[in-house]
């Protein structure tokens, strides 16, 4: 198949949603498909009903995109063709068998792409009302695009917003050759807690800090290490360690140093970081946001607490650190669960979904 993914814009920052698209692009190319990724220049300005790149955007692209396909935090297969567009004119979409919107901002572009671009799909990774007006986002869910969703809750939402529509469920995956147990859970220190720091309020990082402060007050000997993309934020107290821009084996080593991982989001499409932690043998305390509930089963594979409840988060951490056997049992069950979410299965499911959409 000739497959085109349409991403909103070129961005060098680490992004879970972009990572999923790049992974599928690499793996589909390895299976012999012809894969193209379209990204738009940052800072497009509206003119005549279309958006065009400003001179500043053109200079920024020239400075940052100094060879085709450069993503500093992930290697793209050389067979994947990357196109940067300086205007969002769907008439310029390439010829193919299927063209795929990957965000609400690209759904209209795909809807309006010419017939020669192929069947039209919508890869839904979140309900993106944090990134645009709810009415505009909802409208894209009703476009005549074939939906692929990464989580069951997104499938339920798709059928609610667009009754009678089909939403193919293809959950995210973890690369278990990367995210793996290096240090067995049973020989770790038993006192180390981790969490992702993210400035987006929906990630709940401030709730997490309140919970971790309660843990610290109860036992100052508990070690806490956060990781994130930005430089160390001023909100993080001095007794918490902070690791910046962890990728690859550094991220794996970080997870393998932990005994408990705290996931604090109030909203996720499909939570990657707690899944990665599980794959590395870490017991997880997670909020009950629906983006983790496909694999975080309360009392079986994770401790699940109400969103925004710092007290329950802290109690979950304290209980696990105080009960080694329960912590290890939970970590083992979480790892067993997350092993089902692997790239071989996900790629086969995604490829099959695209084949069905193309009428195959």
Note the pLDDT tens digit of each residue in 242-278: 999 998 999 999 999 999 999 999 999 999 999 999 9
Residues 145 and 201 occupy one common structural domain: no
Question: Minimal CA–CA distance to 53: which of 39, 62, 68, 43?
Answer: 43
Structure tokens at 275: 């899944």
Residues 206 and 155 occupy one common structural domain: no
Tell me the helix, strand and coil percentages in the chain, rounded to 5: 40, 20, 40
Let me know if residue 179 belongs to a domain: no
Residues 278 and 321 occupy one common structural domain: yes
Let me know if residue 264 belongs to a domain: yes
Let me know if residue 178 belongs to a domain: no
Residues 200 and 167 occupy one common structural domain: no
Residues 169 and 197 occupy one common structural domain: no
Mean pLDDT of the chain: 92
- pTM for the predicted model, two decimal places: 0.91
Residues 83 and 212 occupy one common structural domain: no
Beta bridge partners of 122: 101, 147
pLDDT band, residue 32 (cuts 50/70/90): very high
Residues 154 and 191 occupy one common structural domain: no
Let me know if residue 334 belongs to a domain: yes
Range list of β-strands (E), the chain = 2-6, 34-40, 44-47, 50-53, 81-85, 98-101, 119-124, 146-149, 167-169, 192-196, 223-228, 241-244, 260-263, 283-287, 303-305
Note the pLDDT tens digit of each residue in 8-25: 976 666 677 899 999 999
Residues 36 and 107 occupy one common structural domain: yes
Let me know if residue 180 belongs to a domain: no
Share of the chain above pLDDT 90, in %: 84
Let me know if residue 201 belongs to a domain: yes
Residues 237 and 208 occupy one common structural domain: yes
Let me know if residue 298 belongs to a domain: yes
Q: Strand, helix or coil at 72?
A: coil
Let me know if residue 206 belongs to a domain: yes
Residues 167 and 75 occupy one common structural domain: yes
Q: What is the pLDDT of residue 43?
A: 62
Give me the residue label for tokens 């063209």: 99
Note the pLDDT tens digit of each residue in 214-230: 999 999 999 999 999 99
Q: What is the pLDDT of residue 181?
A: 99
Look at the chain and report how many structural domains it folds into. 2
Residues 192 and 247 occupy one common structural domain: yes
Residues 83 and 61 occupy one common structural domain: yes
**Domain range spanning residue 277?**
185-338
Q: What is the CATH number of the domain that holds 324?
A: 3.40.50.2000
């Amino acid at each position: 198949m000739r497959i085109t993914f349409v991403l909103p814009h070129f961005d060098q920052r680490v992004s879970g949603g972009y990572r999923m698209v790049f992974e599928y692009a690499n793996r589909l190319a390895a299976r012999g498909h012809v894969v193209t990724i379209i990204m738009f220049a940052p800072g497009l300005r509206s003119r005549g009903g279309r958006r065009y790149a400003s001179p500043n955007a053109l200079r920024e692209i020239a400075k940052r995109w100094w060879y085709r396909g450069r993503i500093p935090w992930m290697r793209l297969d050389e067979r994947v063709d990357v196109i940067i567009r300086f205007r969002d004119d769907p008439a310029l979409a390439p010829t193919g068998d299927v063209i795929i919107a990957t965000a609400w901002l690209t759904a209209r572009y795909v809807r309006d792409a010419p017939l020669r671009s192929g069947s039209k799909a919508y890869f839904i990774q979140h309900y993106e009302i944090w990134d645009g007006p709810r009415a505009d986002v909802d409208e894209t869910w009703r476009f005549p695009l074939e939906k692929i969703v990464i989580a069951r809750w997104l499938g339920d939402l798709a059928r609610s917003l667009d009754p009678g529509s089909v939403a193919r469920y293809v959950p995210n995956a973890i690369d278990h050759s990367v995210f793996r147990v290096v240090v067995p859970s049973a020989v770790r220190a038993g006192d180390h807690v981790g969490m992702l720091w993210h400035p987006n309020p929906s990630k709940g990082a401030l709730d997490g800090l309140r919970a971790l402060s309660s843990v610290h007050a109860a036992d100052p000997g508990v070690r806490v290490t956060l990781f994130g993309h930005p430089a160390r934020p001023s909100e993080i107290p001095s007794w918490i360690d902070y690791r910046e821009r962890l990728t690859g084996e550094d991220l794996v080593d970080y997870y393998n140093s932990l005994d408990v991982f705290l996931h604090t989001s109030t909203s996720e499409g499909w939570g990657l970081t707690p899944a990665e932690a599980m794959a590395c043998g870490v017991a997880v305390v997670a909020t009950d946001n629906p983006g983790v509930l496909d694999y975080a089963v309360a009392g079986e594979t994770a401790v699940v607490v109400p969103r925004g409840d710092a007290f329950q988060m802290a109690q979950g951490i304290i209980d696990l650190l105080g009960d080694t056997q329960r912590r290890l049992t939970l970590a083992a069950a979480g790892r067993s669960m997350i092993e089902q979410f692997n790239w071989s299965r996900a790629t086969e499911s995604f490829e099959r979904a695209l084949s069905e959409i193309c009428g195959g």
